[in-house]
Every structure is written in C-alpha cells, then in structure tokens.
C-alpha cells in the first residue's frame, strides 16, 4: 500500500526526504487523505558523525558515485546542492515533526559510530510518536553485537522501538537474541509475525 507520507511526502520526486517536501505536504494536508499512514524518512551518518536525511547510500553526479558515509555533512550537502536539493539533518526534520500529532517512522540506513547512535537516541527519545525501523542487514551493521544490548536498553528506557521495515511488529533487538526469531525476521513475506 502506498503511504503518502513516504520519504516526507515526496516519494518518487527530486524533493523526496527534504524539508521542502515535508512543508509542501503539510500545507497540502496529505495526512488527512486516506493513503496517509505516517511520516517516513531515511537516515544515515556522515564521516563526521552527523545524522542526515537521505534515501540512497550514494549520490551519482557526472558518472561518478559518491558514497555518502565516506563524506562529511558539508560535502554531502554540497553534492545535494549540485542536484538542486537541500539535504537536511535529522534534527531539522524532527524540529518540524516534533510538534505534529502524526506517527513518524525513521528508517535507519547506516549508523557508523557510538556518537552517531547517541545522536539518534537523543533525538527520538523526546516524542512517543517516533519509531525507528531498519532491515535486518542494516540493523546488524548499525547496531553491532558488542554494543547492541546497551542500545537496546537505551531505547527501551526512552520508550522507543526499533522494528523491522515492512513488519513493524518485529522488534529487531529482541529478534536478534534468538537464532530462530532472527531467522524468521529476515524474509519479507512473513507478515503475520
């Protein structure tokens, strides 16, 4: 089912996951329409531990691929301007969404450091409408085993969940503790879990 709040309301357009798309969507009151389920957007960590909002892992300009988590936030935002878009930080997006009543699903694409994970937890802990989500593969990379229990506890204390993309009833921290549950959490088609 299509969600009109996907990628901050700009899914499939050059403005997806931007403040402009979010503001345009709010002004057009898409959340009152039948296909609005929740706001959704994707986050990554830059090489200087800043959390930014963008869908893809890389930007292609003039035939060259730029891997975003190898670049600083300033470099990433410069690449965005080359494409004619403004790449926002997580804080900038949540500043707008924090006052809104709608649910917010934040898809974790890549978190590289403890500092980056801390920034995400600090940003989402303030609002009960915020939920983190990830694919199992991205969860394993963003929350390594050696610190996973610590981050699970931090999110639990803030009443924030980290669920599986497309299967929001699957808590990835809990599933990763059991070989069977982890195996069952990986296929996309087990919607009943």
For residue 91, the SS3 value is helix
Alpha-carbon distances, residue 126 vs 12, 82, 102, 144 (angstroms): 30, 34, 14, 24
For residue 43, the SS3 value is strand
- Domains of the chain with CATH codes: 6-185 (3.20.20.190)
Query: What pLDDT is attached to residue 90?
Result: 97
Query: What pLDDT is attached to residue 73?
Result: 98
Q: Where are the alpha helices (DSSP H) in 41-113?
A: 73-82, 90-97
Per-residue pLDDT of the chain (193 residues; tens, 9 = 90+): 478 888 898 888 888 999 999 999 888 877 677 788 899 999 999 999 999 999 999 999 989 999 999 999 999 999 999 999 999 999 999 999 998 889 999 999 999 999 999 999 999 987 889 999 999 999 999 999 999 999 999 999 988 999 998 888 889 998 889 888 888 887 765 554 4
CB 76 within 8 A of CB 113: no
d(CA 142, CA 4): 27
């Amino acid at each position: 089912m299509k969600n009109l709040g996907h990628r901050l309301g700009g899914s499939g357009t050059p403005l997806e996951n931007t403040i402009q798309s979010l503001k345009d969507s709010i002004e057009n009151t898409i959340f009152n329409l039948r296909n609005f389920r929740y706001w959704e957007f994707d986050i990554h960590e830059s090489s200087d531990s800043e959390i930014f909002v963008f869908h893809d892992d890389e930007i292609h300009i003039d035939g060259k691929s730029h891997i975003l988590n190898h670049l600083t936030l300033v470099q990433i935002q410069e690449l965005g301007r080359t494409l004619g878009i403004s790449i926002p930080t997580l804080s900038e997006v949540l500043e707008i969404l924090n006052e809104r009543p709608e649910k917010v699903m934040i898809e974790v694409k890549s978190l590289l450091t403890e500092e980056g994970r801390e920034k995400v937890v600090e940003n989402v802990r303030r609002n009960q409408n915020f939920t983190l989500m990830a694919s199992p593969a991205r969860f394993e990379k963003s929350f390594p085993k050696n610190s996973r229990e610590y981050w699970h506890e931090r999110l639990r204390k803030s009443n924030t969940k980290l669920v599986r993309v497309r299967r929001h009833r699957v808590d990835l921290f809990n599933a990763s503790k059991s070989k069977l549950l982890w195996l069952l959490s990986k296929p996309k088609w087990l919607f009943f879990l």
